[in-house]
Amino acid sequence: MMTNVADNRAGVPMESQDEVLVDREDGVLVITINRPHARNSVTRSASEGIARALDELDVDRDLTVGIITGAGGNFCAGMDLKAFAARGEDPSLPGRGFVGLTEALPRKPLIAAVEGYALAGGCEVVLACDLVVAGQGAKLGIPEVKRGLTAAAGGLHRLPERIPRNVAMELALTGDMMTAERAYQLGLVNEVTEDGQALIAAKALAARIGGNGPLAIVASKRVIVDYPTWSTAEIWERQREITDVINASADAKEGARAFAEKRPPRWQGR
Q: State the catalytic residues.
A: 124, 144
Helices marked H in the chain: 44-59, 81-87, 121-128, 155-162, 165-174, 180-186, 198-210, 214-226, 235-247, 250-261
Angle at 59 between CA 6 and CA 23, to 5 degrees: 45
**Residue type (1 letter), 179:** T
CB 172 within 8 A of CB 151: yes
How far apart CA 114 and CA 51 sit, in angstroms, is: 19
Give every strand in the sheet of 131-135, ordered side by side.
2-4, 20-25, 28-33, 65-70, 110-114, 131-135, 191-193
- The answer to whether the Cα torsion of 212, 216, 218, 222 is positive or negative is negative
CB 90 within 8 A of CB 44: yes
CB 203 within 8 A of CB 28: yes
